[in-house]
């Protein structure tokens, strides 16, 4: 698998003109990748590879940035001269070599820690020091990955009473602006449409149903990061029949999913198909373990 990947990398990186074969076998492409199978491997390394490789990845990231610039230079050199500059070619081969060493290590094919080098004869890197550095780096990365969702674990609900008469008066609803907050997200109801055009929205209405929409302002309101998506709205009629949103048509096309970090604000139209003669009684939105409930009275 690594050989196939290396073949593709050499082709895309302009190192070879031959199209890479759909093959795992050696000798089908002018690139040599040899990983000898070890008779025994270290059990201890099974527990440190994941964080020992982190510093190596970080250093290699900057090497790849340099590679992106040299590849552009080489593209123009090949365009005008038909040749890949020798020094840049050697560098790009080394970058590909470094990458394959990392992959061989992390996929358990070898015990040798990848060197911090593009050279073919480079000695393995210091695995112990890399592991000591990589463990806190991996812990910080994991914490940053989980942090945005930590605030969503709080339960609880905010019930927002809304006079049903406001739904019949868009101007009054826009003035009242009923709002609720849960898990650092504030939702404000600013508009209601009893008959949005299904034709303009390209929606096929089911027989015996009509289309309604709510206009929602979403804002970050609290310390914890949070997210917002119209697909987490549910509408209950007065007979407790749950209705799901149909594909929303946001004013801003990015509103399908919004991640709010330090701040954020969005306006979205949310659409439902509702049976004829049935009036909405409650609009619910789930914010992680909490929820915001607009109850029409």
Q: What is the rounded CA–CA span in Å between residue 87 and residue 76?
A: 15
Provide the domain count of the chain: 2
Helix (H, G, I), strand (E, B) or coil at 33: coil
Beta-strand runs (E) in the chain: 156-162, 179-182, 185-193, 209-220, 226-228, 233-237, 242-244, 258-260, 265-275, 280-287, 290-296
Classify residue 167 as exposed, middle or buried by CB count within 10 Å of its CB (0-12, 13-18, 19+).
Answer: buried
CB 41 within 8 A of CB 111: yes
pLDDT above 60: residue 114: yes
pLDDT at residue 253, rounded to an integer: 46
Q: Please identify, among 148, 172, 207, the residue that sits at the C-terminal boundary of a domain.
A: 148
Question: What local confidence, expressed as pLDDT, does residue 148 receive?
Answer: 65
- Say if residue 166 is in the same domain as residue 275: yes
Q: What was the pLDDT predicted at 252?
A: 44
Our CA angle for 245, 250, 255, nearest 5°, is: 95
CATH code at 219? 2.60.40
What is the reported pLDDT for 63?
95
Question: Average pLDDT, whole number, for the chain?
Answer: 86
| 80 and 105 housed in the same domain | yes
Report the relative pairing of strands 258-260 and 265-275 from DSSP bridges.
unpaired
125-178 pLDDT, tens digit each: 999 999 999 999 988 888 777 776 776 777 788 999 998 888 888 788 888 899
Assess whether 52 and 71 both reside in one domain.
yes
With tokens 């491997």, the residue in question is 41
Q: Which structural domain, as residue segments, surrounds residue 257?
A: 154-296
Q: Is the pTM of this model over 0.75?
A: no
Cβ atoms of 216 and 206 within 8 Å: the answer is no
Domain final residue pick, 128, 148, 168 = 148
If asked whether residues 291 and 170 sit together in one domain, one would say yes
pLDDT digits (tens, 9 = 90+) for 211-248: 888 999 999 887 888 888 888 888 887 765 566 665 54
């Amino acid at each position: 698998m690594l050989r196939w990947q290396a073949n593709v990398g050499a082709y895309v990186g302009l190192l070879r003109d031959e199209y890479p074969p759909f093959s795992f076998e050696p000798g089908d492409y002018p690139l040599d990748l040899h990983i000898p199978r070890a008779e025994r491997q270290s059990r201890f390394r099974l527990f440190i590879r994941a964080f020992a490789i982190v510093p190596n990845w970080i250093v290699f990231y900057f090497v790849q940035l340099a590679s992106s610039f040299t590849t552009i230079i080489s593209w123009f050199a090949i365009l005008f001269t038909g040749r890949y500059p020798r020094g840049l070619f050697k560098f790009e081969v080394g970058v590909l070599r470094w990458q394959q060493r990392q992959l061989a290590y992390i996929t358990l094919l070898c015990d040798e820690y990848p060197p911090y080098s593009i050279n073919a004869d480079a000695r393995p890197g210091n695995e112990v020091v890399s592991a000591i550095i990589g463990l806190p780096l991996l812990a910080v990365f994991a914490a940053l990955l989980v942090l945005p969702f930590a605030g969503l674990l709080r339960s609880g609900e905010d019930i927002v009473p809304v006079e049903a008469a406001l739904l019949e008066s868009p101007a009054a609803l826009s003035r009242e602006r009923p709002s609720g907050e849960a898990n650092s997200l504030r939702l404000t109801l600013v508009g209601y449409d009893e008959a949005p055009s299904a034709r303009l929205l390209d929606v096929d209405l089911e027989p015996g149903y009509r289309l309604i929409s709510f206009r929602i302002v979403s804002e970050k309101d609290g310390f914890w990061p949070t997210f917002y998506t119209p697909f987490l709205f549910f509408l209950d009629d007065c007979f407790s029949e749950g209705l799901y949103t149909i594909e929303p048509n946001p004013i801003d096309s990015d509103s399908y999913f919004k991640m709010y970090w330090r701040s954020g604000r969005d306006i979205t139209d949310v659409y439902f198909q509702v049976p004829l003669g049935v009036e909405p009684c409650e609009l619910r939105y789930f914010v992680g373990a909490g929820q915001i409930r607009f109850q029409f009275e």
